[in-house]
């Protein structure tokens, strides 16, 4: 293992299992000789395998937020009713990633380019081979998880009965590409990054801090900061407290991103920038979205600064039988963290309705 990073451990992230799906050829030409997917499951698969829900993860995220914030008895994502499988995306630090692979041919700066379509193909293989799941009651994900959700619905329409992309688009926009670029450049411009061959994330602390600062601007919202909403955000680790927005920024986002692996963020960021279901249809977005047969609720967040409702609505209108369900939050894109009960109640209401909807099977 190139770097032992305690942030990427069951102790920090909650339990998960590694499943190998073997040699995996990537769309951009690279190969992962032994692809390990970090998987967390909740609940039991029923006999006819009709109660499976798949959740792919977002940029910098893991299964943990889903477990802590979205999944639970009585919730829409109820492990007493469903078999919920959260698959950590390739390169996220838990699944095979630049810093955690034993294979020197793909370690650190040599990690190959991975696309959204690679994750979805790998997940499909995992579900089929490991769990015998051929059909999903629901695919739901936020942000890059929404990108994967869209990709699933377009690429494997016969396998996806319902889809709920939250705060993420089927085709990434130029604005999003440029935004992600500022995040990635904040890291690579740090001399400590050393072209990807740093010895520890601490070498890149300044770049990771600038990365976190750009998130503070684009990931949250003017009102989140103006109303000092952060005063009510619970501490990440014991003993934390913040009396000013700058203390919050230092202890929350900067501290969080400084625990992460820079190459993992870069691998995910490159993937995020290029998410595009139209790749399945020769560049024709309308044709690609026209393939969707899942009952789909498109769920942007009203205050999201980089996946705004306008962009999601345009895609929803190209998706047969879909509905637009706008979520409300003061926290911008980072509403996904679940700061607000009202936001979570909205998510649960929409997902419950979607899961109750009759679909052709």
> Which residues of this protein are in contact with its own copies, per CB under 8 A?
173-179, 181-182, 185-186, 189-191, 206-207, 210, 213-214, 216-218, 220-226, 228, 245, 249, 305-306, 308, 310-311
Give least dist CB 57 to its own copies, A. Answer: 24
Q: Which is nearer to its own copies, 21 or 183 (CB)?
A: 183
Selecting among 304, 322, 329, 350, the annotated active-site residue is 304
**3-class DSSP assignment, residue 31:** strand
Judge whether 143 counts as a catalytic residue.
Answer: yes
Judge whether 333 counts as a catalytic residue.
Answer: yes
Q: Which among 93, 87, 97 has a CA at the least distance from the CA of 119?
A: 87
Query: Among all chains, which residue has been given the structure tokens 């995306």?
Result: 89
Selecting among 19, 63, 99, 333, the annotated active-site residue is 333
Q: Which among 30, 21, 13 has a CA at the least distance from the CA of 93?
A: 13
Selecting among 143, 303, 322, 329, the annotated active-site residue is 143
Give least dist CB 182 to its own copies, A. Answer: 5
Give least dist CB 217 to its own copies, A. Answer: 5
Q: Which is nearer to its own copies, 105 or 244 (CB)?
A: 244
Give least dist CB 223 to its own copies, A. Answer: 7
The answer to whether residues 71 and 79 touch, using CB atoms and an 8 Å cutoff, is yes
CA gap 277, 283 in Å, rounded? 8
Q: Which is nearer to its own copies, 118 or 315 (CB)?
A: 315
CA gap 266, 59 in Å, rounded? 10
CA gap 81, 83 in Å, rounded? 7
Q: Which among 201, 206, 208 has a CA at the least distance from the CA of 183?
A: 208
CA gap 318, 327 in Å, rounded? 20
Q: Which is nearer to its own copies, 27 or 206 (CB)?
A: 206
Give least dist CB 304 to its own copies, A. Answer: 10
Query: Among all chains, which residue has been given the structure tokens 């909740």?
Result: 42
Q: Which among 141, 140, 134, 143 has a CA at the least distance from the CA of 162?
A: 140
DSSP 144-209: HHHHHHHHHHHH-GGGBSEEEEES--SB--HHHHHHHHHHHHHHHTSGGGGGG--SSGGGGHHHHH
Q: Which is nearer to its own copies, 73 or 191 (CB)?
A: 191
Q: Which is nearer to its own copies, 175 or 286 (CB)?
A: 175
Give least dist CB 154 to its own copies, A. Answer: 20
Judge whether 95 counts as a catalytic residue.
Answer: no
> Counting beta carbons within 10 angstroms of the beta carbon of residue 80, is it exposed (0 to 12), middle (13 to 18) or buried (19 or more)?
exposed
Residues assigned a catalytic role: 143, 304, 333
């Amino acid at each position: 293992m190139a770097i032992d990073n305690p942030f990427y451990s069951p102790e920090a992230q909650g339990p998960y299992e590694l499943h190998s799906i073997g040699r995996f050829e990537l769309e951009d030409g690279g190969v992962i000789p032994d692809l390990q997917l970090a998987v967390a499951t909740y609940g039991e698969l029923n006999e006819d395998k009709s109660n499976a829900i798949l959740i792919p993860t977002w940029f910098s995220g893991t299964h943990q937020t889903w477990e802590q914030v979205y999944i639970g008895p009585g919730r829409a994502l109820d492990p007493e009713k469903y078999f919920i499988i959260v698959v950590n995306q390739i390169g996220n630090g838990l699944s095979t990633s630049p810093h955690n692979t034993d294979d020197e041919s793909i370690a650190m700066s040599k990690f190959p380019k991975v696309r959204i379509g690679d994750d979805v193909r790998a997940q499909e293989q995992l579900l089929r081979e490991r769990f015998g799941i051929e059909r999903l009651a629901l695919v739901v994900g936020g942000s890059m998880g929404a990108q994967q959700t869209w990709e699933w619905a377009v690429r494997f329409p016969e396998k996806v009965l319902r889809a709920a992309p939250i705060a993420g688009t089927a085709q990434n926009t130029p604005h999003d590409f440029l935004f992600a670029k500022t995040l990635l450049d904040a890291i690579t411009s740090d001399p400590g990054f050393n072209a990807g061959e740093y010895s520890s994330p601490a070498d890149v602390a300044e770049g990771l801090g600038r990365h976190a600062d750009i998130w503070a601007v684009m990931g949250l919202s003017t009102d989140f900061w103006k109303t000092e909403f952060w005063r009510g955000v619970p501490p990440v680790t014991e003993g934390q407290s913040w009396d000013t927005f700058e203390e919050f920024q230092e202890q929350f986002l900067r501290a969080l991103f400084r625990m992460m692996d820079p190459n993992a963020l870069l691998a995910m960021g490159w993937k995020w920038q290029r998410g595009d279901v139209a790749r399945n249809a020769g560049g024709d977005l309308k044709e690609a979205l026209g393939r969707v047969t899942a009952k789909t609720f498109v769920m942007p967040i009203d205050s999201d600064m980089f996946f705004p409702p306008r962009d999601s609505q345009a895609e929803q209108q190209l998706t047969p039988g879909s509905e637009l369900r706008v979520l409300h939050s003061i926290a911008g894109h980072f509403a996904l963290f679940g700061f607000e009960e009202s936001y979570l109640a909205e998510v649960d209401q929409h997902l419950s309705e979607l899961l109750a909807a009759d679909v052709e099977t």
